[in-house]
């Protein structure tokens, strides 16, 4: 007969077992310390030229404020963000004073979105364009700790203070403080494009030409999000005219330049059971004709197309992107200890940009290529196994708990019936 004592003992043992199974395991004592939160400083040009009304029918300053409001709403919680201005305070003609006109508008640290928006709302186009001093000030704001650091410079003109900001960017890069500078030019001319591209390239950053408010907000959001991503340092590479001569790429972020209407090739090795994920962005950093596109193809060494991604534009954007995914099926079991051979996947990046006769086509347009190789989708047999997916694991636990609860309820019912009959 099942006694109350035996029933209580069994119930306690069952609950103890379930508690051990469901509670998360403790962190290992030797786990590495958490990384420092990334830092980003947005450096905004507030010089007099920002009054020009040539971005979607409004002034460059208004477009920048609108974009900043959208960006500040979307900043990831882990990012410590600050804002620095240049040319915001001194309206006079004294070059010496004008070239010192840069200050921290909002200190780098945890973001109070309302406070930061209020600070940006007070800005009005005022003075000079001291880009070099602003970059030095931003580097000091970010400090020299172990955090990843990013400066995002938004300006509509070249430096007006006679100091080469490209050289300053090189000095910052030489300090080895893991700081990347990205530059965005608002309706830039040729000299501005050249200077901003040089600043970005000196630190492994990117340059983007901007003609619309939506593009400005989207690009700055992308760069802030990238600061929170541990794989953020672009590696310079050079695609080839044929896959056989193409560089071998590992997972990471790569930069290149591609001429108008050019095809460039890269190679990635993929093992059975892995999935290749790739994306590419091409920046129209100068005036281009309407109607263009970008194509990203994955093909075999023999030229057979595996998968492709493409996107088209019509002159209303400055960065055009596309991507693809290719899961390589698992190989059949091989005899002995033979390891499955890797497949070489050829990635082709093509564009259909064209330029007016007055626009220089060299150097090529900036290209960003992201490559990632991950474990492919689990097979049906894997999904049934515990530990390969939290959702399936939890479902299995719930089924087991339901089964054990049913047994317990059956024992309890039998015990109650037995007690009732004895009485």
pLDDT, tens only, 296-308: 999 999 999 999 9
The pLDDT-based confidence of 244 (bands split at 50, 70, 90) is very high
pLDDT at 10 over 60: no
Residue 374 located in a structural domain: yes
* Selected residue with higher pLDDT from 407 and 93: 93
pLDDT at 377 over 70: no
Domain that holds residue 280: 235-378
Residue 29 located in a structural domain: no
Residue 27 located in a structural domain: no
One domain, residues 86 and 153: yes
Residue 419 located in a structural domain: no
User: What is the pLDDT at residue 17?
Assistant: 46
Number of domains in the chain: 2
Q: What CATH number is attached to the domain comprising 72?
A: 3.40.50.410
One domain, residues 263 and 322: yes
Give pLDDT tens digits for 255-273.
Answer: 999 999 999 999 999 999 8
Across the chain, mean pLDDT equals: 82
Q: Which of 202, 227, 252 is the last residue of a domain?
A: 227
The pLDDT-based confidence of 235 (bands split at 50, 70, 90) is confident
One domain, residues 51 and 162: yes
Please report, rounded to a whole number, the percentage of residues in the chain having pLDDT higher than 90. Answer: 47
pLDDT at 31 over 70: no
One domain, residues 297 and 241: yes
One domain, residues 218 and 266: no
Give pLDDT tens digits for 328-356.
Answer: 887 665 555 566 788 999 999 999 999 88
One domain, residues 194 and 135: yes
* Selected residue with higher pLDDT from 359 and 150: 150
Residue 28 located in a structural domain: no
One domain, residues 240 and 204: no
Residue 387 located in a structural domain: no
Residue 11 located in a structural domain: no
pLDDT at 393 over 60: no
pLDDT at 26 over 90: no
One domain, residues 43 and 77: yes
pLDDT at 50 over 50: yes
Over residues 52-76, the mean pLDDT reads 93
User: What is the pLDDT at residue 81?
Assistant: 96
The pLDDT-based confidence of 14 (bands split at 50, 70, 90) is very low
User: What is the pLDDT at residue 339?
Assistant: 66
Nearest to 130 by CA among 45, 40, 42: 45
Q: Which of 199, 227, 255 is the last residue of a domain?
A: 227
One domain, residues 213 and 350: no
One domain, residues 68 and 112: yes
One domain, residues 173 and 109: yes
pLDDT at 385 over 90: no
Q: What CATH number is attached to the domain comprising 247?
A: 2.60.120.380
Q: Which of 210, 227, 244 is the last residue of a domain?
A: 227
One domain, residues 264 and 372: yes
Residue 417 located in a structural domain: no
């Amino acid at each position: 007969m099942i006694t109350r004592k035996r029933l209580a003992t069994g119930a306690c043992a069952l609950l103890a077992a379930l508690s051990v199974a469901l509670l998360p395991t403790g962190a290992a004592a030797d786990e590495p310390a958490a990384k420092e939160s990334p830092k980003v400083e947005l450096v905004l040009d507030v010089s007099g030229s920002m009054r020009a009304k040539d971005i979607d029918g409004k002034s460059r300053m208004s477009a920048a404020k609108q974009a900043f409001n959208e960006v500040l709403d979307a900043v990831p919680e882990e990012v410590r963000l600050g804002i620095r201005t240049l040319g915001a305070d001194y309206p006079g003609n004294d070059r010496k004073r004008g070239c010192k006109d840069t200050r921290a508008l909002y200190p780098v640290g945890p973001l109070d979105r309302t406070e930061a928006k209020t600070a940006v709302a007070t800005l009005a186009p005022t003075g000079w364009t001291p880009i070099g001093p602003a970059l030095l000030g931003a580097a000091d704001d970010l400090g020299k700790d172990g955090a990843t650091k990013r400066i995002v410079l938004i300006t509509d003109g070249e430096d007006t203070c006679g100091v080469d900001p490209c050289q300053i960017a090189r000095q910052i890069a030489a300090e080895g403080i893991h700081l990347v500078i990205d530059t965005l030019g608002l309706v830039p001319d040729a000299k501005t494009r050249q200077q901003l591209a040089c600043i970005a390239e000196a630190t492994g950053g990117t340059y983007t030409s901007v003609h619309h408010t939506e593009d400005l907000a989207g690009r700055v959001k992308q760069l802030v999000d990238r600061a929170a991503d541990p794989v953020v340092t672009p590696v310079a590479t050079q695609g080839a005219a044929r896959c056989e001569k193409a560089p071998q790429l590992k997972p990471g972020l790569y930069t290149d330049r591609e001429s108008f209407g050019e095809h460039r090739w890269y190679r990635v090795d993929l093992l059975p059971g892995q999935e290749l994920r790739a994306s590419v962005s091409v920046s129209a950093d100068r005036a281009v004709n309407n109607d263009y596109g970008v194509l990203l193809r994955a093909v075999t060494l023999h030229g057979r197309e595996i998968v492709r991604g493409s996107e088209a534009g019509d002159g209303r954007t400055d960065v055009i992107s596309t991507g693809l995914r290719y899961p390589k099926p698992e190989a059949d079991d091989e005899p002995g200890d033979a390891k499955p051979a890797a497949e070489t996947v050829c990635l082709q990046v093509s564009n259909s940009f064209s330029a007016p006769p007055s626009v220089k086509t060299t150097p090529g347009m900036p290209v960003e290529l992201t490559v990632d190789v991950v474990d492919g989708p689990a097979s049906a047999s894997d999904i049934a196994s515990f530990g390969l997916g939290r959702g399936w694991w939890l479902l299995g636990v719930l089924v087991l708990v339901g089964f054990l609860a049913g047994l317990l309820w059956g024992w309890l019912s039998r015990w109650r019936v037995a007690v009732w009959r004895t009485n």
